[in-house]
Structure formats: structure tokens, C-alpha cells
Structure 1
Amino acid sequence: MTVLLTGLPSAGKTSLATAARAALLAAGHRVEVLDGDVVRRELWPELGLSPEDRERNLTRIGSVALLLARNGIITIVAAIAPYAHSRAALRAAHAGVPFAEVHVATPVEVCRRRDVKGLYARQARGEITGLTGVDAVYEEPLTPDLRIDTTLEDVGESAARLVDFILHGPVLSSPHGGRECSGRF
């Protein structure tokens, strides 16, 4: 299966994916994490942050995720994935392969405080533009398969909820309108 973790920069997608991967591996599952930033940097560094390049990045990540999922690997994609139509296209490309969209729903104010990569500070100083959720669009998922609010519990608790969803959740091939999870990172 493929699990897409979508959310704003510094929402906790990578932390959640990494913790869930460790738990799934410990339970004997085959699992990989495809982090949007890492994949972009290492596999296709020619892509920028334009809307077109963001879509290309997600499409390419989705192709790798599908290949892994078809071969029995739980694939967790941690990517901003700001556009609803791109996420829908990713789901459609997984026809016959379980797919779940998980919204890592962290308010922009919390992301700004976390600012793991310093992007919000750079944007505030005018050094960069086009920061998703600030001066570039982020189309929040309306009916994700799962929504995790990262403001009320730690990463371990949220990862446990994600793992439970992956292992025991509903059939993940179509949108279900979201089970809710609350968490704080």
C-alpha cells in the first residue's frame, strides 16, 4: 500500500513517517519512506518549486511508491502535495493498489514556531517567496482517509495511531472521509 502524508512545511510529516516506519519494521513489515525533499534532491534535482515542478515531483514520487507497493512494501510518502488534483491523480494511479491520504493537520502558526528548515523565518525576512500555506496555495484535504492533528500528542502517539490505521484501517482504495486523530509534535 501507499500512504501519502500531506501537510504544510514543518507539520511533522517526516517525523511521523520515520516513527511509523520504525514501528512497522519492528513488527516485521516491509516498509519504505519516500520523503519529498530527499527524493527531489537526490533523484531529480532539476525540479524547482514552481506549481508545475511540484506536480512533477509528486507524480514521480507516486510512480516510485506504486512500484514499491506493487511489490509488497508499505510505502509512506511524506510530501507537502499542495494541490488537491495532484493528490487525486496519485490516488487514481494506484488503481487496484491500496492507497490512503493522511492529512497531517498542523496549523500554520505551529509550523511557523517549529520552522524545522528555517523557511518561515526566511519568508518573513523577504528572502524567499512561494512558501506553501503562507504566500503559496495549500489546498487542505476535505475528505482524507485519516486526519492527524499534531498539536495534542507527541510523535510516538501519533505514529502509533498511523500504524494502527495502516494495519487495521478500512480498505484504503477510495476516499472515506477521514477518521480523526489528535497529536502534538
Structure 2
Amino acid sequence: MTEDIVWHHHKVSRAERASSKKQKPCLLWFTGLSGSGKSTVANALDVALFERGYHTFLLDGDNVRHGLCKDLGFSDKDREENIRRIGEVSKLFTDAGLIVISAFISPFNADRRMVRKLFPAGEFIEVFMDTPIQACEQRDPKGLYEKARRGDIKNFTGIDSPYEAPERPEVRIDSSTSSVEQCVDALIAYLVHRELIS
């Protein structure tokens, strides 16, 4: 019955909401293998922006699967729906004037393009954590690679499920050769260069 659903226009615009926060909304979409540093760097960036007085919100893959996406598994179809939901939520947050930081493996180019299309040009910033799988597997902070190698976990990205590297990410980071602080500094510099923050 979608014909019975009508878009309700708000009197306070997204531009006014952003202006009241003295910032430009955007979405920093962290993608990469498990153990590539997505959550660690995203968290550190969130803290750095917050300490500078910016209004941010961090969406993390594991956290979202405890609530909004707890009904989804890890099949290709469920992964696509997981990313679709996160994209829509991220758009709502940017409509509220926030700088949104998301950390999801999001292994498929098509899914990331789907999210990019939700945003005005320049507001979707793909941050590719281009950390080699060997380094990710050595870290293995959750013990997932070991379980996947044993066959205890199926459809694990990088082992028995593919990861499609971004074709043209706005930012590329290798956390095996850069410290967390260096990664955050590079991201802050990018945001300043783009005049998204000052």
C-alpha cells in the first residue's frame, strides 16, 4: 500500500539543522576486512571530532547487529539488507546535521554504491582500511580467523566469502603501517581539506 504513504515535509530543514551545529554533515564509511582497524580508527576519529566540538555519531557493525539488525544472518542477501538499513539510518543522522562514522566490513561494491547514492555528492566518504589480510589475521582480535580456518564459521569475509576492495575510495589507510594517531590525523586533514570541518 505504498501509494497510501505520503512523505511528510519537516519545517526545519537539514541545512538549518547543520547550520545550528556549525558543521557540514557527512558520512565516513569505513570498510575493510575483519581486524583491519575499522572500529579502532573509527572510534578514535569519533573521539577526536567530539573533542573539537563537532556533533558526531558512530555506528559499529557488531553493535548494530545487537539491535537494528539482530534478525539478520551473514548470507549475501542478509549482508545486503544489513548495509541497506545502515545506509538509511546514516542518512537520517546526516539529515539531522551530524557527522556520521560507520564501521562495517561491507564486502560488496554494489552495496556500498547503493549507500553512496543516498547522499548528495561529496557527503559519502569511503574510507578503505587497506590492511593486508596477513596483518588482520595476525591480530585476529576476536579469534574469528582461527574459527573460520577451522570451519567453525561459514561465509567469513576473506576466507570463504569474497571481499571486493573499493574501486576509488576517498581515503585509503593501511593500519599495519600507520599508528591509530596517524590514521586519525590523515582523516582530519582530509575533512579540513574538503572544508567539512575547520
Q: 1:56 aligns with which of 81, 85, 96?
A: 81
Give CA deviations for 1:137-162 in whole Å, capped at 9, x if unaligned.
10001210110111112111111211
Percentage of pairs with the same residue:
38
Deviation at 1:97, TM superposition (A): 6.8
Where does residue 165 of structure 1 map in the other structure? 190
| Residues 127-185 of structure 1 deviation map (CA, whole Å, 9 limit, x = unaligned) | 112110111010001210110111112111111211221232378xxxxxxxxxxxxxx
Runs (5+) with no aligned partner, structure 1: 172-185
How many angstroms apart in 2 are the aligned matches of 1:49 and 1:143? 26
CA contact (8 A) 2:37 2:175 kept: yes
- 1:137 and 2:162 aligned: yes
Q: Larger Cα Rg: Structure 1 or Structure 2?
A: 2
**CA RMSD between the two structures:** 1.4
Q: 1:38 to 1:78 in 2, by over 3 A?
A: same
Question: 1:96 offset after TM fit, Å?
Answer: 5.4
Matches within 5 A, 1:32-181: 32-95=57-120, 98-169=123-194
Residues of 2 paired with 1:42 and 1:91: CA distance? 23
Q: Structure 1 residue 3 and structure 2 residue 28: aligned?
A: yes
Over residues 57-112 of structure 1, what are the superposed CA-to-partner deviations in whole Å (9 max), with x where a residue is unaligned? Answer: 11101111111111111001100010001100100011357111110001110010
CA distance in 2: counterparts of 1:124 and 1:170, whole angstroms: 44
CA distance in 2, matches of 1:167, 1:134: 37
TM-score of the pair, normalised by structure 1? 0.88
88-97 or 57-66: which moved more? 88-97
- 2:50 is matched with 25
**Which ranges of 4 or more aligned residues in structure 1 deviate by more than 3 Å?**
none
Stretch of structure 1 that moved more, 103-112 or 127-136:
127-136
Instruction: Please state whether the residue corresponding to 1:4 is helix, strand or coil.
Output: strand
Aligned residues: 171
Give the TM-score normalised by the residue count of structure 2: 0.82
